[in-house]
Amino acid sequence: MAVVKVIEILAESEKSWEDATKVAVAEAVRTVRNIKTVYIENFQAIVENDEVVRYRVDAKISFLVGK
């Protein structure tokens, strides 16, 4: 029986929400192995001077533990 753990990472990018997701995964792989999925729960954009300047995601990252 597999056991899956979920961590939450908040990540940011100046390019896009997709890039912010990649930033979240890149940070997670520094200390976590066996990552299987990424679920984006929330999106947020930071606006300055009437333009979007940063993209943020709330990423739920799941990975297998044990075995």
CATH number of domain containing 9: 3.30.1660.10
Structure tokens at 36: 């299987």
Rounded to whole angstroms, how far apart are CA atoms 36 and 51? 34
Cβ within 8 Å of residue 14, ≥6 positions away: 53, 54, 55
The model's confidence at residue 1, banded by pLDDT at 50, 70 and 90, is confident
- What is the domain extent for residue 12? 3-65
Tens-digit pLDDT profile for residues 12-67: 999 999 999 999 999 999 999 999 999 999 999 999 999 999 999 999 999 999 76
The predicted model scores a pTM of: 0.88
Look at the chain and report how many structural domains it folds into.
Answer: 1
Binning the chain into helix, strand and coil, the percentages to the nearest 5 are 20, 60, 20
